[in-house]
């Protein structure tokens, strides 16, 4: 290859990913062979995200636009077919990689399914293998590299799946209740046997009402659930209201360190990777639901006097 003096052209495959969850898969499997742009950073709520002019330009100039789909990126829905019409390869990852029979039905989304597929690690493994195949199709020069990385990453996800299962199984069964700001964890709940309840419903586009807060507070007090779980991409306001309503019922409930729900952490920190975020979430859930359980068992719940 000749070395041009005026331009150092980057001829790598240009990939645009919407969320940093989806982007992480491209980073893991595409590595340095791919020029990756991720539109949504840490703490960004994909349900509410509007694409900027710059985002639209980057997508239009990409070789491949990878998004979660199932209406997760609710305000960008019309953009993807538009990109496709302009000749850009586009993939709705959750729709392409995961059979409908494994999706959780939900009337709240135009897709009819809950889009938060990633915290069932076995499902995300399917997504990883799909990304490997698509990268190989789009950039045949690096087929072997993508195949190898996808296979290795799938093995790591197998270990992660086992880890999550083993850890969560340590929580006493009657305490395996995960109450979060919004319903991003139903797949995780189904995979690892956690009863999952979101205050806000499945999308952040609708706010929880007073009746929701009171009903959830009653449930928490009745079941003596020690911890509510915050999320990095959702305001804690709703959970604070539940905490207050629980207190009014004579029981104290904690609010946890934030879980990574719809977004991963900062790119240069451990939770900037999917694996790191899953481990953080599992540790936070296990410590939130187990530790205080010891002190509550055999005694009255902590009463507010």
* Interface with Zn ion (CB under 5 A): 184, 262
C-beta of 234: minimal distance to Zn ion in Å? 8
Task: Provide the 10 A C-beta neighbour count for residue 156.
Answer: 15
Which CB sits closer to Zn ion, 68 or 90?
Answer: 68
CB of 31 or CB of 74, closer to Zn ion: 74
Residues facing residue 231 across a β-bridge: 259
Structure tokens at 183: 């319903």
Nearer to Zn ion by Cβ, of 146 and 187: the residue is 187
CA distances from 11 to 49, 66, 148, 267, 301 (A): 30, 19, 22, 24, 63
Q: Minimum distance between the CB of residue 187 and Zn ion, rounded to whole angstroms?
A: 11
Residues in the chain, how many?
305
- Which residue, judged by CB position, is nearest to Zn ion in the bound state? 262
Percent helix / strand / coil, the chain, rounded to 5: 50, 10, 40
CB of 198 to Zn ion, least distance (A): 9
Q: Quote the least distance from Cβ 246 to Zn ion, whole Å.
A: 24
Q: How far is the CB of 248 from Zn ion (least distance, A)?
A: 29
- Are residues 227 and 255 in contact, defined by beta-carbon separation less than 8 angstroms? yes
Strand partners, 178: 196
| Closer by beta carbon to Zn ion, 212 or else 262 | 262
Question: Cβ distance 86 to 97 under 8 Å?
Answer: no
Which residue's CB is nearer to Zn ion, number 229 or number 251? 229
Nearer to Zn ion, 184 or 199 (CB): 184
- Alpha-carbon distance of 276 to 279, in angstroms, equals 5
| CA atoms of 138 and 252, how far apart (whole Å) | 54
Closest separation between CB of residue 118 and Zn ion, Å? 10
Cα(296)–Cα(305) distance, rounded to whole angstroms? Answer: 17
């Amino acid at each position: 290859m000749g070395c041009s003096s005026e331009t150092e052209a980057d001829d790598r495959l240009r990939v645009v990913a919407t969320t940093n969850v989806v982007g992480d898969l491209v980073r893991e499997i595409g590595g340095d062979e791919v020029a990756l742009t991720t539109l949504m950073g840490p703490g960004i709520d994909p349900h509410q995200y509007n694409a900027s002019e710059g985002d639209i330009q980057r997508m239009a100039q990409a070789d491949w636009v990878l998004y979660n789909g199932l209406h997760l990126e609710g305000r960008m829905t019309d953009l993807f077919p538009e990109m496709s019409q302009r000749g850009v390869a586009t993939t709705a990852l959750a729709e392409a990689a995961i059979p409908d029979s494994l999706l959780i039905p939900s009337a709240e989304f135009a897709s009819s399914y809950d889009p938060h597929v990633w915290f069932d690690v076995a499902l995300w493994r399917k997504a990883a293998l799909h990304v490997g195949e698509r990268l190989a199709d789009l950039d045949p020069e690096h087929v072997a590299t993508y195949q190898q990385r996808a296979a290795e990453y799938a093995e790591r996800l197998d270990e992660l799946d086992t880890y999550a299962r083993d850890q969560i199984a340590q929580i006493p069964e009657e305490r395996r209740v995960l109450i979060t700001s919004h319903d991003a964890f139903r797949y995780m709940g189904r995979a690892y046997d956690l009863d999952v309840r979101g205050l806000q419903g499945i999308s952040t586009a609708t706010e929880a009402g007073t009746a929701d807060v009171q009903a959830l507070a009653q449930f928490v007090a009745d079941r003596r659930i020690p911890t509510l779980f915050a999320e990095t991409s959702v305001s804690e306001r709703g959970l604070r209201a539940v905490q207050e309503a629980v207190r009014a019922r004579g029981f104290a409930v904690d609010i946890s360190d934030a879980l990574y729900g719809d977004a991963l952490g900062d790119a240069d920190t451990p939770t900037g990777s999917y694996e790191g975020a899953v481990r953080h979430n599992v540790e936070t859930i296990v410590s939130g639901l187990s530790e205080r359980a010891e002190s509550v068992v055999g005694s009255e719940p902590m009463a507010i006097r």
